[in-house]
Amino acid sequence: MRRFMRMFWLTLLVIGGLFVYRNYDYLRVNFWPLVEQKIAQVTSQKDQTADSTNTAPVGTTEDDAVTPVESIVAETKLSNVYYYVFEDNAPASVRNVFEEAVVIYNETGLVELKSGTPADTENKITFGIYTNEEAANQNGLSELGRGGPNIIKYTGWTSYVVNRGSARLNLAGTNAVRLSVAIHELGHVLGLAHSTNRNSVMYPIDQGKTGLQDVDIRALQTIYAN
């Protein structure tokens, strides 16, 4: 009986091997992409969970010489090219301040942010809005916006890492639609974390700054300079 079972499983293994060999091209085109998609989805979920729970930036000091970098970005090698899109409900005023922020970051020469829809292997930024009255009035401070990276790692026949982050302004916040806020939230998407340095655009309380400081540019260099 045992000998019969061994022969049965051996025969089954040989048949399976022949099937894969004879149908390799079909399986490569139709089956393996589904497997890759599932693997990528699992990796993406892990990264998104880490992003929502791991808010500890890298290298915080009382007076940061370099703006801190989000930990999930510091661990990753990212392309410096991003494509950005706007959510359909984003008003013209919001689109304008984000477009201005894009110009400011592009002027550094460290990143290249382009309007358009990216390929699957390219970075994407989504700009938009939200309305949260409660968050806009917590502890006497107004929540002006939210932004952050979303690192997705794909593994399979080909492996690559992309950032599919987003930046949104809170329309319930007081004076949320302003350039300084857009620069701050876009900075989060690109990997910059909150800084204790009041000169940085990444200081958590809006200072009205509309230009990147040396400490911010040095942080971008650590992420994107080749």
Distances (CA, A) of 12 to 7, 20, 114: 8, 12, 53
- pLDDT string in tens for the chain (226-residue length): 666 666 766 776 666 556 655 665 655 545 555 545 544 443 443 333 222 223 344 444 446 689 999 999 998 999 999 999 999 999 999 999 999 999 999 999 999 999 999 999 999 999 999 998 776 555 567 889 999 999 999 888 888 999 999 999 999 877 889 999 999 999 999 999 999 999 999 999 999 999 999 999 999 999 998 6
The reported pLDDT for the residue numbered 21 is: 59
How many degrees, rounded to 5, is the angle at CA 80 between CA 224 and CA 186? 90
The reported pLDDT for the residue numbered 48 is: 32
45 CB neighbour count, 10 Å cutoff: 11
Beta-carbon contacts of 141 under 8 Å, excluding residues fewer than 6 positions away, are 205
Beta-carbon contacts of 47 under 8 Å, excluding residues fewer than 6 positions away, are 72, 150, 151, 152, 153
Question: Domains of the chain: which residue ranges?
Answer: 2-30, 36-224
46 CB neighbour count, 10 Å cutoff: 13
The reported pLDDT for the residue numbered 159 is: 87
The reported pLDDT for the residue numbered 61 is: 46
Separation of alpha carbons 105 and 98, rounded Å: 11
Separation of alpha carbons 35 and 202, rounded Å: 40
The reported pLDDT for the residue numbered 131 is: 93
Which residues partner with 192 through β-bridges?
Answer: 69
Q: What is the secondary structure of 4-70 as a DSSP string?
A: HHHHHHHHHHHHHHHHHHHTHHHHHHHTHHHHHHHHHHHHHHHHHHHHHH--PPBS--TT-SS--B-
Separation of alpha carbons 86 and 111, rounded Å: 19
The CATH number fitting domain 36-224, selected from 1.20.840.10, 3.40.390.10, 3.60.21.10, 3.40.47.10: 3.40.390.10
Amino acid at site 86: F
Q: What is the pTM of this model?
A: 0.74
Tell the burial category of 106 from Cβ atoms under 10 Å away from its Cβ (0-12, 13-18, 19+).
middle
Q: Which among 38, 57, 43, 36 has a CA at the least distance from the CA of 151?
A: 43
The reported pLDDT for the residue numbered 51 is: 26
Separation of alpha carbons 115 and 112, rounded Å: 10
The reported pLDDT for the residue numbered 58 is: 47
